[in-house]
Amino acid sequence: MTPSRDISRLIEIMAALRTPVTGCPWDLEQNFATIAPYTIEEAHEVVDAIDRGDLDDLREELGDLLLQVVFHAQMASEQNAFAFGDVVEAITRKMIRRHPHVFADKDGNLAASHVKEVWDRIKSEEKAERAARRPPEATPPHNSLLSGVKAGQPALTRAMELQRKASTVGFDWNDPRAVLQKIREEADEIEAALDRNDKQEIAEETGDLMFALVNLVRHVDADPEAALRATNAKFERRFAFIERALEAQGRTLEQASLAEMDALWNEAKGDEQNAPAAQSSNGARR
């Protein structure tokens, strides 16, 4: 089978991978639940390529993300639920409906300031229509204020959206310092759970701490995903400094003590903190 620019070839490849006996054993073992984490991972890798401005990598990562869509559609097709074409038809119908100012038969333009208003109204109508199609037993007994927060988002982002939604009715902290106090309380509760060696409670209290941290990030007008990505990059830089320093000494990570690695970490941290001051000084001389 040869590569192609035609989406039908990718669909054929996935169908072949999922064909019993002749297909790929790993692909045949998968289901929606086991593939879902890879779908999230590929979406994050698309974002990473965008952040790095690497368009070649972005092309590759978009292909990986598209494969996830084809994979899920193939498994649904095997269950006679829907096929890839149905996915395409559903999204094209949705985009046409949500952009009446672009695709309407009648003349007339919509001001940019009103586009989001129309989009939100049509989304609400679509949500109500989906709810009406559900069987009674599948309908939630209570229409919560938080019902509109998407469940499929990364946990940090969804925590941010849940908090933001609750804040619209005044359920919020008034001062970021109050959130900081809540963080200290959650840390104390983790310590108490550690003393009891209750793993389930430790995990629960750690989740509470993370939720409180997201709350603080929100109050200082930052984005939790972006903040954590920046910290991840900082960790990688400093750890790479440790590796390079040890390599220059003819040693490996395994041969170094924790105290030695910690000292190198602090050296890397100091270099980063001094770099902006040095750049500013050089700029002044220019």
pLDDT tens track of the chain, all 286 residues? Answer: 788 999 999 999 999 999 999 999 999 999 999 999 899 889 988 988 998 899 999 999 999 999 999 999 999 999 999 999 999 999 999 888 888 878 765 555 666 666 677 767 777 777 777 667 766 655 555 678 888 787 767 888 889 999 999 999 999 999 999 999 999 999 999 999 999 999 999 999 999 999 999 999 999 999 888 899 899 999 999 999 999 999 999 999 999 999 999 999 999 999 998 876 555 555 544 3
The C-alpha atoms of residue 144 and residue 55 are separated, in whole angstroms, by 41
The pLDDT value given to residue 138: 54
Burial 8-44 (b: 16+ CB within 10 A, else e): eebbebbeebbeeeeeeeebeebeeeeeeeebeebbe
The pLDDT value given to residue 126: 72
- Structural tokens at position 28: 């045949």
Asked whether the beta carbons of 210 and 162 are under 8 A apart, the reply is no
The pLDDT value given to residue 273: 86
pTM for this entry? 0.59
The pLDDT value given to residue 284: 46
Burial of 146 (0-12, 13-18, 19+ CB in 10 A): exposed
The fold of 7-82 is Helix Hairpins (1.10.287)
155-220: CATH number: 1.10.287.1080
Asked whether the beta carbons of 97 and 124 are under 8 A apart, the reply is no
Burial of 212 (0-12, 13-18, 19+ CB in 10 A): buried
DSSP 173: -
Start-end of H helices in 134-257: 155-167, 176-196, 199-219, 224-248
The C-alpha atoms of residue 11 and residue 184 are separated, in whole angstroms, by 52
The pLDDT value given to residue 207: 96
Amino acid present at 1: M
Q: Where in the chain is the domain with CATH 1.10.287.1080?
A: 7-82, 155-220
The C-alpha atoms of residue 281 and residue 181 are separated, in whole angstroms, by 38
| Residue 32 C-alpha from the chain's centroid | 18
H-run or E-run covering 46: helix 32-52
The C-alpha atoms of residue 38 and residue 34 are separated, in whole angstroms, by 8
The pLDDT value given to residue 67: 97
Using alpha carbons, select from 166, 179, 176 the residue that is nearest to residue 211: 179
